[in-house]
Structure 1
Amino acid sequence: MAGSSSQPELGDNVRKEPGPLMKLILQAGRDKGAPSQGLMEPVEKKEPEKDLNWYLPLYKAALRGDWESAKNFFNQDPEAITAKITKVSETVLHIAVGTQRATSFVKELLELIPTEALVTLKDQAGQTALHYAAIYGNVEAAELLVTKSPELTNVWSGAGLLPIHLAAGYANKDMISYLFTVTRDDVEPSPFADRSGVELLNLVISAEFYDLALYLIQLYPKLATLRSPAGNTALRVIAGKPSAFPSGIRLNVWQRLIYSCVPVKFGNVYSPAKIGDMENPAAGNQMSMLICRWVHFFWEFGSSVCKKCHEATWEFIEWLVPYFKSVRDTRLMHRQTLQLIKRLCAEVAGLDYSSAASIFDGPILLAAVSGISELVEEILESFPPAIWSRNQEGHNIFLLAVENRRENIFNILYQMSEHKQLATQLRDVKRNNILHLAGKRAPPARLSLVSGAALQMQRELQWYKEVEKYVLPDSKDARNSNGRTPAVEFSVEHKDLVKEGEKWMKDTANSCTVSATLIATIGFAASITVPGGNNSDSGFPIFHKNTAFTIFAIFDALSLFSSTASLLMFLSILTARYAENDFLYSLPRRLIIGLTMLFLSITSMMVAFSATIYLVFGEKKAWTLVPVAGLACLPVTLFVTLQYPLLKDMITSTYCPGIFGKRSDRLLF
């Protein structure tokens, strides 16, 4: 506009330049150190930060995978694509990768985010979206992220962890397998070396992915000899996993049978034997070479057919009974664990003496406490001096085995030479020898494995008697820091268990006495008032020539005599003195006899009653035997179901070889 002034009008939204005087005032204020406030130093206005509730609709859209709602939000607020929308500074991408149904949402969102910005989008803990995908196990989202920005796999969080570490920490096996293939190893620091590598190995073991751990050790053997930032080695971590070993699980008879029969791996069930050197046959002529090739061909063909049949059979069995698959997986896990510890021990044993000893000390002691005999044996075979490892209280593996009642560790003594004489004579810091520790009460977790206070007391006596065989005569009278001998220690520690055992035995005997008395009464009454009555002339029973009457007479007498015998045995239990040593054989033997006689009396009474029913109501009606016999089996079956486990445990604990003895042919120095 011609002649118009270049100065803005008052209504324009502009900031006026300060005049020369104002500039001097401002400069003087700065020279004196005065604060610039008000008109002294105009500042540029900033928009206030948005409240997090503003992003709540976007948060919900990301959780639902609702891209249309999110797109409308982005049109309204473009900065929300990379904005921090939660109090821990998560972006919408962090939220979206946390749900499987938002895969298409993530794909569309990545189109709006620049590639170079992905590595900078981090939450308060320094974690990228790939860290979140690893935590949630969202493999599809991880593939989208890595495809757009491969550098994400090697971005460290604030805690010094890569996405693959978090995948292992949250036990996402599919995610670990994927990240194994895309995480770069040619960068510094390497994810699979030094502390990062051993941290990854320990996390994989903690997640019980032993096949992946074995794979890691095969690629990076040195990880077996390193410690994590927390000071743990791979052996130390696996020593805290008793269930990963065969000795760490308890199986009944049927489970052991299935465990021993199920194949570990279908593809490796059968392997062809070597018929001979096919390229250099022993005969050295063309005819023998031809014969060997034909034999090898038929062997391979037969093995392949057998293998496929075996696979098909077990697949069908697993389809019918899914439990078989879980047993097979358990056995496969045990096989992988044993291979893993063998490899770990071999690597550690290759170090110098002091380094190997420091690494083996913790795992072998922890394995002794946990009862992992396989790990203890492997360590002792790889590094025999580990047997002298001791904890802060002065306990070696055998003292720990006795203190924690780990019979599978104590049984290693049976696989040793005369070195066991020295290994069992140590004392701890409280001057307890191994017999003192046997005199202490077992930990509650181990004591509860035995049913009934009387059987628990019996097990404690068995431990004391077994350990007593391995100590010198003067050790039996040695005193600890409390001035107690092993025998006194045992009495003091087990006085409450003796009372509990006495109460348990008397309660059991009282309950069974009532049943035995009732059966004896019924048997005696039935023997006087026989079915059908007596002949008034001769006095003989009317049915005395009937076979069913003979059966009745025999089993009624057997019921009376056996119930009377069981009654006497239970009375002897009630009047026993209940000394400590009585729990070893005397009291269990009486209860075994009493329960056996009671079972025999119940069975005999049912047979006699069935014969009576047939005599009175079933003449010339043979079909009545079927329902009568079926009903008669009901109380017998109930007795067996309810009392047989107790009877079996008592017979096994009292008369069978027991928990002690040689369990392996593996000889240890």
Structure 2
Amino acid sequence: MANASIAMLGIVHEQLTEDNYEYWKVCLERYLIGQGFWDVVTGKKPQPPKDADDYEDWTIRNALALHAIQLSCGPDIYKKFRKTTSAKDAWEHLAPSNLRPPDDHEDLNDKFHHLNYQTLYNAIESGDWKQIKGLLELHDNPVSARITSKGDTALHVAILAGHLGIAEKLVKLMSADDLEITNEFGSTGLSLAAICGCTKLAKLMVDKNPKLVSISNDLHIDGNIPVIVAALYNRKEMVHYLYKVTPIDELSPEKGRYGSTLLHCLISAEIYDVALELLEEYPKLGLTKDRFGKYTLRILAQKPSAFPSGTKLVFWRRWIYSSMSLFRELVSGLLKNFAPDVYHRKLVHREALRILSCICKEIPKLSESQLTEIGIDEMIYDAIKHGILEFIFELIKCDPPIIWRKDSKGRSIFAHAIVLRQDKIFSLIHGFGTRKNIMAHRHDIFGNNYLHLAAKLSPPGQLERVSGPALQMQRELQWFQEVESMVQPKCKEEVNENNKTPATVFTEEHAELAKEGERWMKNTAASGMVVGTLIAAVMFTTAFTVPGGNNNNTGLPIFLKYDAFKLFVMSNALSMFSSSTSVLMFLGILTARFAEKDFFRSLPMKVIIGLLCLFLSIVTMMVAFGCAIFMTLNDRLSWIDIPVIILALIPITLFCMLQFPLLIHIIHCTFVSTISSKPEKHPLGVS
């Protein structure tokens, strides 16, 4: 930062602020002239062709000029045009016409002309049409007059104030040319109507002057035509109307960036039906840079909610989603009424998939340089990071050789799937037969093979999907062993550029997680051991102090003749044995060595057995207690049976609520969850 400040002081005395623009501009202009960069900055020396003799000289001078501008304006202002590579564009961005002072010959009467309409302005703001109408009759053509300092007409003010009824009446009084008047921000009345979403008002204006749909906002909204403005503000009804009345050639790639910008805004606002219609007309728009410097395909790669794989639903909504057929109107209608949000999400996914397919079909038509220019590697990475299976699936289907493509780090689709722990995307690798083994033997620029990548610690977002450090460690081991079963044996002993084998990388990367997993296991075992020990002690005592006591002559229990006594003895014994077993399991955890491989199956199995036995001991303890109450009271207090049963269920229910989710989760992670599974349908049509 100190060096930057010193360099900056050699160009201008102080960085650009809101108060020193004119002084700053003069200083920087003189510096650029003195250094011989002024013809590049002003565009008098345009960029020559790459094969021209002076191309290298122009490139150097452009870079030096741009660097000087960046240093002079400071980081806060620079970030607004940080993506530009042209010194001319940067200079024009910092010197817009509205920042320049007025010309000396400017008529001050014109400047303050709007003050003559202050009463009209106040009447519009208050919504008093009777007064407005009277004032309009007093002035000469006031509907076209600018009545604010920002150049707003009466129509602009009425729309901004929310008086749409008055705006409609004003439109009827205005001529077609009057409707084309823009304010200081370049906005027509139609642009403001698009922002507020008043379709009725927009129709009135377009019917009177169809050219309005092609007039862009020069400054306020980055030069966008009304349909784009409506999409930016998520006005769906307005978008549908304006798209129909906007000439389609206005949105073609050859016309400019209106089409790609509209497509971007439509995707962001989830107006997929219009986006699909536009793409079918101009398929190249999905791979054309828009006014924001972005590509629609990358927006899709960062929007998991647009696809089924990025949508999480509870089980019953998931069942409705899978049962909903968009081609069976009767069933769809019933389900639509029952779960409209699920129905809407299904429609969104269907349209988004069609849009994705339409764009991906253009990928094979691009050269390598074009793919690099649009940032295909970044798009692939984003899609994998967000777990968008459909994106990768469609990309491979449309352009199969892309599976061999490597990014700047030398990593392919499946290498990224391993690093980012996206198991569904990684499962696609099973559809490539022998090619799978070839891909698995590839290395990145750091010398890492697939097993090195699997040895790295998962991203935090992926780790958090698994509850508890011990189960997170188990998941990491599952990934490592899955990839290990795929690669060639020699990959296990290969070293990367840091001279580390995959096993060494795994140990170093997971050292802290292993310690946290050990603490988690021991805390869980200690808590379960306390409860198990308490139950075992109670059940052991109860075995020798049976309810009702013993016969003094025979020594046998008095209630031996009751069937409930036999159930009592069985429940007591089961509770005693199961609690003892749980204590032993938890003790085994406390005394375990906690090696890395123990987290894979040994330790989770002990937790599962311990929790199951603990649950069984609590249930049988409650049964034994209920039997004892029943025998002691006999038939004398029969009404107490039901309350006792209900109360006995309370600890069982609490255990189920507090511990069963953990138990089910451990069982699922240990026996059900797998890293890799063959997809039902492969992009290349192979199994």
TM-score interval, smaller chain: 0.7 to 0.9
Q: Matched residues in 1 for 2:156 and 2:634: separation?
A: 81
Structure 2 counterpart of 1:335 = 350
Cα distance change on mapping 1:392 and 1:568 into 2, 3 Å: same
Please tell me whether the aligned partners of residues 213 and 225 of structure 2 are also in contact (alpha carbons under 8 angstroms). yes
Q: Matched residues in 1 for 2:321 and 2:586: separation?
A: 40
Pick the aligned partner of 1:219 from 276, 281, 290: 281
Q: Matched residues in 2 for 1:513 and 1:492: separation?
A: 32
Cα distance change on mapping 1:181 and 1:495 into 2, 3 Å: same
The SS at the match of 1:393 is: coil
Please tell me whether the aligned partners of residues 206 and 212 of structure 2 are also in contact (alpha carbons under 8 angstroms). yes
Please tell me whether the aligned partners of residues 394 and 683 of structure 2 are also in contact (alpha carbons under 8 angstroms). no
- My pick for the range that moved more, 75-84 or 450-459, is 75-84
Cα distance change on mapping 1:45 and 1:240 into 2, 3 Å: closer
Please tell me whether the aligned partners of residues 510 and 570 of structure 1 are also in contact (alpha carbons under 8 angstroms). yes
Q: Alignment identity in percent?
A: 41
Please tell me whether the aligned partners of residues 456 and 506 of structure 2 are also in contact (alpha carbons under 8 angstroms). yes
Structure 2 counterpart of 1:580 = 596
Please tell me whether the aligned partners of residues 458 and 584 of structure 1 are also in contact (alpha carbons under 8 angstroms). yes
Residue 122 of structure 1, CA deviation: 2.7
Q: Matched residues in 2 for 1:260 and 1:226: separation?
A: 35
**2:663 matched to 1:647?**
yes
Pick the aligned partner of 2:189 from 122, 129, 136: 129
Pick the aligned partner of 1:488 from 494, 501, 504: 504
Please tell me whether the aligned partners of residues 349 and 356 of structure 1 are also in contact (alpha carbons under 8 angstroms). no
Residue 45 of structure 1, CA deviation: 7.9
Q: Matched residues in 1 for 2:465 and 2:234: separation?
A: 31
Structure 2 counterpart of 1:440 = 456
Q: Residue type of the partner of 2:204?
A: L
Structure 1 counterpart of 2:243 = 180
The SS at the match of 1:177 is: helix
Q: 1:571-591 CA distances to partner (integer Å, 9 max, x unpaired)?
A: 111111111111111111111
- My pick for the range that moved more, 66-75 or 559-568, is 66-75
Q: Residue type of the partner of 1:218?
A: E
Pick the aligned partner of 1:200 from 259, 262, 267: 262
Q: 1:431-489 CA distances to partner (integer Å, 9 max, x unpaired)?
A: 22222221111111111000001001111111111111222233222222333221111
Cα distance change on mapping 1:135 and 1:388 into 2, 3 Å: farther
Please tell me whether the aligned partners of residues 479 and 675 of structure 2 are also in contact (alpha carbons under 8 angstroms). no
Residue 353 of structure 1, CA deviation: 7.5
Q: Residue type of the partner of 2:232?
A: G
Q: Residue type of the partner of 1:171?
A: N
- Unpaired runs of 5+ residues, structure 1, are 1-41, 271-306, 319-323
Q: Matched residues in 1 for 2:271 and 2:112: separation?
A: 46
Pick the aligned partner of 1:413 from 429, 436, 452: 429
Pick the aligned partner of 2:677 from 646, 661, 669: 661
Q: Residue type of the partner of 2:177?
A: E
Please tell me whether the aligned partners of residues 283 and 362 of structure 2 are also in contact (alpha carbons under 8 angstroms). yes
Residue 65 of structure 1, CA deviation: 4.4
The SS at the match of 2:257 is: helix
The SS at the match of 1:544 is: helix
- My pick for the range that moved more, 106-115 or 154-163, is 106-115
Q: Matched residues in 2 for 1:86 and 1:448: separation?
A: 55
Structure 1 counterpart of 2:169 = 108
Q: Matched residues in 2 for 1:591 and 1:661: separation?
A: 27
Number of aligned residue pairs: 577
Cα distance change on mapping 1:433 and 1:341 into 2, 3 Å: same
Structure 2 counterpart of 1:344 = 359
Please tell me whether the aligned partners of residues 618 and 624 of structure 1 are also in contact (alpha carbons under 8 angstroms). no
Q: Matched residues in 1 for 2:442 and 2:267: separation?
A: 34
The SS at the match of 1:604 is: helix
Q: Matched residues in 2 for 1:651 and 1:502: separation?
A: 18
Please tell me whether the aligned partners of residues 365 and 389 of structure 1 are also in contact (alpha carbons under 8 angstroms). no
Residue 165 of structure 1, CA deviation: 0.9
Cα distance change on mapping 1:435 and 1:150 into 2, 3 Å: same
- My pick for the range that moved more, 544-553 or 249-258, is 249-258
Please tell me whether the aligned partners of residues 52 and 86 of structure 1 are also in contact (alpha carbons under 8 angstroms). yes
Within 5 Å, give how 1:353-432 maps onto structure 2.
Answer: 361-432=377-448
The SS at the match of 2:180 is: coil
Structure 2 counterpart of 1:302 = none
Q: Residue type of the partner of 1:500?
A: E
Please tell me whether the aligned partners of residues 156 and 192 of structure 2 are also in contact (alpha carbons under 8 angstroms). yes
Structure 1 counterpart of 2:529 = 513
Q: Matched residues in 1 for 2:530 and 2:121: separation?
A: 74
Residue 594 of structure 1, CA deviation: 0.6
**2:225 matched to 1:162?**
yes
Structure 2 counterpart of 1:256 = 318
Q: Residue type of the partner of 2:272?
A: Y
Structure 1 counterpart of 2:623 = 607
- My pick for the range that moved more, 202-211 or 354-363, is 354-363
Q: Matched residues in 2 for 1:362 and 1:314: separation?
A: 39
Within 5 Å, give how 1:286-301 maps onto structure 2.
Answer: none
Q: Residue type of the partner of 2:216?
A: W
Cα distance change on mapping 1:73 and 1:646 into 2, 3 Å: farther
TM normalised by structure 1 equals 0.79
Q: Matched residues in 1 for 2:526 and 2:107: separation?
A: 94
Q: Matched residues in 2 for 1:394 and 1:580: separation?
A: 30
Q: Matched residues in 2 for 1:354 and 1:252: separation?
A: 44
Please tell me whether the aligned partners of residues 65 and 104 of structure 1 are also in contact (alpha carbons under 8 angstroms). no
Q: Matched residues in 1 for 2:463 and 2:454: separation?
A: 13
Please tell me whether the aligned partners of residues 365 and 396 of structure 1 are also in contact (alpha carbons under 8 angstroms). no
Q: 1:583-637 CA distances to partner (integer Å, 9 max, x unpaired)?
A: 1111111111111111111111111112222222352655543332222222211
Pick the aligned partner of 1:567 from 566, 575, 583: 583
- My pick for the range that moved more, 538-547 or 349-358, is 349-358
- Unpaired runs of 5+ residues, structure 2, are 1-104
Cα distance change on mapping 1:543 and 1:65 into 2, 3 Å: farther
Q: Residue type of the partner of 1:129?
A: G
Q: Matched residues in 1 for 2:243 and 2:448: separation?
A: 51
Q: Residue type of the partner of 1:468?
A: E
TM normalised by structure 2 equals 0.77
Structure 2 counterpart of 1:619 = 635
**2:62 matched to 1:46?**
no
Please tell me whether the aligned partners of residues 93 and 106 of structure 1 are also in contact (alpha carbons under 8 angstroms). yes
Structure 2 counterpart of 1:453 = 469
Q: Matched residues in 2 for 1:217 and 1:396: separation?
A: 29
Pick the aligned partner of 1:269 from 296, 317, 328: 328
The SS at the match of 2:285 is: helix
Pick the aligned partner of 1:502 from 518, 540, 547: 518
Q: Matched residues in 2 for 1:74 and 1:356: separation?
A: 59
Cα distance change on mapping 1:427 and 1:352 into 2, 3 Å: closer
RMSD value over aligned CA atoms?
A: 3.1
Q: Matched residues in 1 for 2:117 and 2:603: separation?
A: 77
The SS at the match of 2:607 is: helix
Please tell me whether the aligned partners of residues 335 and 343 of structure 2 are also in contact (alpha carbons under 8 angstroms). no
Please tell me whether the aligned partners of residues 169 and 203 of structure 1 are also in contact (alpha carbons under 8 angstroms). yes
Structure 2 counterpart of 1:468 = 484
Residue 72 of structure 1, CA deviation: 6.8
The SS at the match of 2:183 is: coil
Q: Matched residues in 2 for 1:658 and 1:370: separation?
A: 19
Q: Matched residues in 2 for 1:43 and 1:405: separation?
A: 65
